[in-house]
A and B are shown apart, each in its own frame.
Chain A
């Protein structure tokens, strides 16, 4: 069964860039075409950040609310994909999850990693 594991700094300074990686194990990342990032501020609900499509040119789709600050990329040789969110503020403090897309849903999730934006 596929396993996803997020990694990256747990603390980012305001105006800095949040960078996370999702390592995929238990199978090739190419076994599925679509991979997503989702976040959840402490005590709040879920917000989809964006996805990357492994077919073709690796196209991405982002949440319009974050589009100007987000980049999702993939490294198939390392079986992982990544998230960058720039110009962060305290409002970006959240648990960040990576996920494998299923049938118009998010089928498998990583355990999540808390990123705090603070000086």
Chain B
């Protein structure tokens, strides 16, 4: 089973700053199969990025994704107050078909 490890566990930044979140896979993942989600307290996760770098419908362009192989990154260029949340990476593969990283909490410094 491919394990996704996100870092850091918590990232403390201020609005307007740039956020860089990392997702490392224990084995290579096809770039088609890596996605990112945002989850705010009491809400369902929301798809941000699919296929490593494609923004989902309605996602602002301050969110971008990159990476390949085992290392993937979600970047938020200029943090807005509504961006402080927990972020999960997710891989599509086998056994199980979908798996998630443990999450990175982005909080206000």
Contacts and interface: CB of A to CB of B under 8 A. Distances in A.
Interface in A38-96: 38, 45-48, 51, 61, 63-65
A51 to B, nearest CB: 7
Interface stretch (B19-27, B39-47, B68-76): B39-47
A102 B102 contact: no
B106 interface: no
A48 B100 contact: yes
Contact of B100 (A36, A47, A104, A112): A47
Given A45-B100, A45-B102, A65-B96, A102 B50 contact: yes
Contacts of A38: 98
A48 B50 contact: no
B51 interface: yes
Interface residues of B, number: 25
Interface in A11-61: 36, 38, 45-48, 51, 61
A103 B32 CA distance: 8
Interface stretch (B10-18, B77-85, B87-95): B87-95
Contact of A112 (B33, B37, B44, B46): B44
Contact of B45 (A46, A64, A65, A103): A46
A109 B35 CA distance: 15
A48 B46 contact: no
Given A46-B100, A48-B97, A61-B97, A105 B45 contact: no
A105 B44 contact: no
B56 interface: yes
Interface of A: 36, 38, 45-48, 51, 61, 63-65, 97, 102-112
30 contacts: A38-B98, A45-B100, A45-B101, A45-B102, A45-B103, A46-B45, A46-B88, A46-B100, A48-B97, A48-B99, A48-B100, A51-B97, A63-B96, A63-B97, A64-B95, A65-B96, A97-B44, A102-B56, A103-B54, A104-B35, A104-B50, A104-B92, A105-B50, A106-B37, A106-B45, A107-B50, A108-B47, A109-B44, A110-B44, A112-B44
